[in-house]
Amino acid sequence: MRTSLATAWWAVLRRDLLLSARRLGELGNPVVFFAAVVSLFPLALGADAGLLRSVGPGIVWVGALLACLLSLEGLFRADFEDGSLEQLLLSPHPASVLVSAKILAHWLVTGVPLLLITPLLGVLLNLPPLAQTVLFGGLLLGTPTLSLLGSVAVALTLGLPRGGLLISVLLLPLFAPVLVFGAGAVGSALLEMPVLPYFYMLGAELALAVTLVPLATAAALRASLGS
């Protein structure tokens, strides 16, 4: 008799959330970084409301992207070093499904806090309510894509001694479309133009990433551990 895949998936998700909850210091890093970057811009650019409004969405998106990049390096690192990743890959359950639980946990502890403080930052940048809603919606669709895409790069560079730089180089081109459509949606909302096309693109990227990335990440982890 074997336990079901759902039990194993849930066990992995719960494990990663518990581990994050016990390392609250690390958990706060990306969100503090995000808030710092975004709130420094008004100080640097001056209190010109019109200027802030036009560059604000871009600043928030770039901040979220960099915060995500910062948090990604730790996604598999500890598990790689303590051998937990080996045990995960040795499970009779498909590694791609188990890996998807780890990616979801990563998004829950890094992406969701970013989302939660976004309304506050929107006020700081003097964005109108509609633009704020669009910004939030875009990040809601975009940040899971960032976590997913990031997991492939992190998995590929696990065995390498200086993976950090390589992760950034690999990811910036993959992150670019998310940034373009995410920031573009808010820009469009500010001009009172339709925003739905941008959301369709963000949604399409998310759907593609959800279906393909876990397979790629699992394969990359196998390759990293097999060498």
Partner 1 sequence: MTTTNEAATLAAIDLACVRGDRSLFQGLSFALVRGTLLKVEGPNGVGKTSLLRILAGLARPEEGEVRWNGKAIGGCPDFAADRRYLGHHNGHGLALTVRENLRVAAALQGTPCAGASLEQAMETVGLAHAGDSPVARLSSGQRRRLALARLILGAAGVWILDEPLNALDRAGQVLFGGLLRDHLLGRGVAVISTHQTLTLPAGIRQQTLTLAVSS
Q: Provide the minimum distance between the beta carbon of 215 and partner 1 in the complex, in angstroms, as a whole number.
A: 14
Q: Is 91 in the site for partner 1 (CB under 8 A)?
A: yes
- Give the nearer residue to partner 1 in terms of CB position, either 26 or 73: 26
Q: Provide the minimum distance between the beta carbon of 217 and partner 1 in the complex, in angstroms, as a whole number.
A: 17
Asked whether the beta carbons of 35 and 121 are under 8 A apart, the reply is: yes
* Binding string, residues 15-54; x marks residues near partner 1 by CB under 8 A: x--xx--xx-------------------------------
- Give the nearer residue to partner 1 in terms of CB position, either 103 or 121: 103
Stretch that binds partner 1, among 51-59, 67-75, 80-88, 115-123 (CB under 8 A): 80-88
Q: Is 92 in the site for partner 1 (CB under 8 A)?
A: yes
Stretch that binds partner 1, among 53-61, 77-85, 133-141, 202-210 (CB under 8 A): 77-85
Q: Provide the minimum distance between the beta carbon of 159 and partner 1 in the complex, in angstroms, as a whole number.
A: 12
Going along the chain, which residue ranges are E strands? none
Per-residue exposure over 128-143, b if at least 16 CB sit within 10 Å of its own CB, e if not: eeebbbbbbbbbbbbb
- Give the nearer residue to partner 1 in terms of CB position, either 23 or 53: 23
What lies within 8 Å, CB to CB, of 222 at 6+ separation is 89, 95
What lies within 8 Å, CB to CB, of 129 at 6+ separation is none
Q: How many CB atoms lie within 10 A of CB 82?
A: 10
- Between the alpha carbon of residue 89 and those of residues 85, 101, 104, 152, the distances in Å are 6, 13, 17, 15
> Alpha helix (H) ranges present in 73-128?
74-82, 84-90, 95-106, 112-124
Q: Is 77 in the site for partner 1 (CB under 8 A)?
A: no
Place of tokens 């560059």: 55
Residues forming the site for partner 1 (CB under 8 A): 1-3, 7-8, 10-12, 14-15, 18-19, 22-23, 78-79, 81-84, 86-93, 98, 225-227
